[in-house]
């Protein structure tokens, strides 16, 4: 049992979405659910960026599911690879929380009998928070006599990588296309949220050093991408690497220029192995002062490391305009709203291990003080009354009513008016942070 890894060696379609949550990979700037690159019926792919919200018809606003950077389709002799097609001969998926890497190994047989070994790894770089990377390897196994291939024993392989805008928060679409283009080997997609007008630029490259493979860039209204295609001999392997850089208007005035220039620089100065090495080193440095050791209970040891990993990927190192949501950045639950869970259950860990991150999380509450004071005044109180659910501006984000999931009846939600203890939770967190860190400057200016 590897106490740094969460693994599964069988695929169960009935737990697809739950496992997508478990295998979320991220870095504090963005998190991506553990959806498969090739897709699967009923999947719920999502990439959520820290603090990027859009308004919704019922309620206030929610984290907006960004255009999906994962899609990578594989075709062999015209047959599509997907786990519900053909036959899965071997399967293993592993999330290594020590190194921040999600990997998958699949041996697969197509409906016509072609056998492939597919190895995939991906990471959201902790060394460069704007960067997501995928390495995708396909090996042509020795083929059964019944397999469909040409006389030379070669297989026609197509790898099709895209940026897909046709994803939403369930059925609600938050992003609309602005523009797309290409500079050298870099394809880029510019979108914006429909109501909050946050600009997002995602740049993408998709390359291979395998001989004989062609490279083709194509435009699309909803999924621009790059296609690699060529012949693969029995026993041979093609390895392709997909790099994606993301910038928003929360980061820079010109996210397009930032994304394309950084991406071009990465292609010229760094290969995939170097990017992976930097990511691993950053994670190892983090764990040197973050690990908690438990003797005599391997499951508890594995679990606490997984939870520390989730805390880290849900927290920005520098952006104090947002905080850790109740579900982190793993999915759509609670719409990305922040509750007092952060100060009571999550922040103490950072207070003792990474006080700079704890300080950021408390500065988020400081920025919400005008809204909290306004709410207190409306409620007939002096001072500040923090919202039970908050997003970016300090106003109450708890819905006034919801539809009962069973009866369909519209029922009131009183939490926003009667859950008063959140204010004392925040005050307690500030006091504990100051007691541990001795940060007098913070207490003087923000406490």
Q: With 90 as the cut, is the pLDDT of residue 240 above it?
A: yes
CATH homologous superfamily of 5-270 equals Glycoside hydrolase, family 65, N-terminal domain (2.70.98.40)
> Please, what is the average pLDDT of the chain?
96
Each residue of 83-121: pLDDT tens digit? 999 999 999 999 999 999 999 999 999 999 999 999 999
Higher pLDDT, 416 or 343: 343
Cα 377 from chain centroid (whole Å): 38
Q: Classify residue 152 by burial, with Cβ atoms within 10 Å: 0-12, 13-18, 19+.
A: exposed
**Predicted local distance difference test score (pLDDT) of residue 110:** 98
- Angle CA(33)–CA(334)–CA(303) in degrees, nearest 5? 55
On the question of pLDDT at 254 being above 80, the answer is yes
Tell me the pLDDT tens digit for each residue of 13-53: 999 999 999 999 999 999 999 999 999 999 999 999 999 99
**pLDDT tens, 184-216?**
999 999 999 999 999 999 999 999 999 999 999
pLDDT tens column, 397-436: 998 888 888 898 999 888 888 889 999 999 999 999 999 9
Q: Which residues contact 158 (CB under 8 A, 6 or more apart)?
A: 73, 74, 75, 227, 228, 229
145 or 80: which carries more pLDDT confidence?
80
* Confidence at residue 151, expressed as pLDDT on a 0 to 100 scale: 45
Contact 207, 187 (CB under 8 A): no
Residues with Cβ < 8 Å from 343, sequence gap 6 or more? Answer: 361, 365, 425, 426, 428, 429
- Confidence check: pLDDT of 354 > 60: yes
Tokens, residue 31 = 């998190």
Helix H, strand E, coil C: the string for 142-207 is CCCCCCCCCCCCCEEEEEEEECECCCCECCECCEEEEEEEEECCEEEEEEEECCCCCEEEEEEEEE
Query: pTM, whole model, 2 decimals?
Result: 0.95
C-alpha to C-alpha distance for 370 and 99, rounded to whole angstroms = 40
Distance of CA 446 to the CA centre of its chain: 31
**56 Cβ contact partners less than 8 Å away, ≥ 6 residues apart:** 62, 169, 172, 335
Structure tokens at 163: 């940026």
Q: What residue spans define the domains of the chain?
A: 5-270, 338-446
Q: Are 136 and 241 in contact (CB under 8 A)?
A: yes
The 10 Å Cβ neighbour count of residue 357 is 22
Q: Tell me, what's the pLDDT at 101?
A: 99
- What's the rounded Cα separation, in Å, for the pair 120 and 23? 14
Buried (b) or exposed (e) across 173-199, using 16+ Cβ within 10 A? ebbeeeebebeebbbbbbbbbeeeebb
pLDDT digits (tens, 9 = 90+) for 290-311: 999 999 999 999 999 999 999 9
């Amino acid at each position: 049992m590897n106490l740094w890894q969460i693994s599964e060696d069988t695929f169960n379609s009935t737990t697809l979405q739950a496992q997508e949550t478990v295998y979320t990979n991220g870095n504090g700037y963005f998190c991506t659910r553990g959806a498969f690159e090739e897709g699967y019926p009923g999947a719920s792919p999502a990439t959520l960026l820290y603090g990027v919200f859009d308004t919704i018809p019922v309620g206030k606003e929610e984290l907006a599911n960004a255009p999906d950077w994962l899609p990578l389709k594989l075709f062999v002799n015209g047959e599509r690879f997907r786990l519900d097609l053909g036959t899965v001969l071997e399967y293993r998926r592993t999330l290594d929380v020590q190194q921040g890497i999600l990997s998958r190994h699949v041996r697969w047989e197509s409906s016509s009998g072609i056998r492939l070994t597919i190895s995939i790894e991906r990471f959201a770089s902790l060394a460069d928070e704007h960067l997501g990377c995928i390495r995708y390897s396909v090996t042509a196994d020795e083929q059964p006599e019944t397999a469909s291939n040409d006389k030379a024993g070669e297989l026609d392989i197509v790898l099709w990588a895209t940026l897909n805008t046709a994803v939403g928060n369930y059925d609600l679409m938050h992003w609309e296309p602005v523009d797309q283009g290409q500079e050298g080997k870099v394809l880029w997609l510019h979108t914006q949220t429909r109501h909050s007008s946050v600009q997002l630029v995602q740049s993408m490259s998709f390359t291979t050093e395998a001989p004989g493979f062609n490279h083709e860039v194509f435009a699309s209204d909803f999924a621009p991408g790059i296609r690699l295609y060529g012949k693969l001999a029995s026993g041979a392997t093609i390895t392709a690497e997909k790099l994606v850089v993301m910038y928003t208007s929360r980061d820079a005035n010109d996210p397009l220029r930032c994304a394309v220039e950084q991406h071009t620089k990465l292609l010229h100065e760094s290969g995939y192995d170097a990017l992976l090495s930097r990511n691993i080193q950053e994670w190892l440095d983090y764990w040197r002062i973050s690990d908690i050791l438990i003797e005599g209970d391997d499951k508890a040891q594995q679990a606490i490391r997984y939870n520390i990993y989730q805390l880290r990927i849900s927290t920005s190192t520098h952006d104090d305009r947002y905080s850790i949501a109740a579900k982190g950045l793993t999915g759509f639950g609670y719409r990305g709203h922040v509750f007092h869970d952060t100060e009571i259950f999550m922040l103490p860990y950072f207070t003792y291990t990474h006080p700079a991150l704890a300080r950021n999380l408390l500065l988020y509450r400081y920025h919400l003080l005008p809204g909290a004071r306004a709410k207190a005044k409306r409620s007939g109180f002096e001072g500040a009354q923090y919202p039970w659910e908050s997003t970016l501006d300090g106003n109450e984000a708890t819905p006034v009513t919801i539809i009962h999931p069973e009866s369909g009846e519209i029922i009131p939600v009183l939490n926003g008016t009667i859950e008063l203890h959140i204010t004392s939770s925040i005050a307690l967190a500030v006091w504990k942070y100051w007691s541990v860190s001795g940060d007098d400057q913070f207490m003087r200016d923000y406490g």
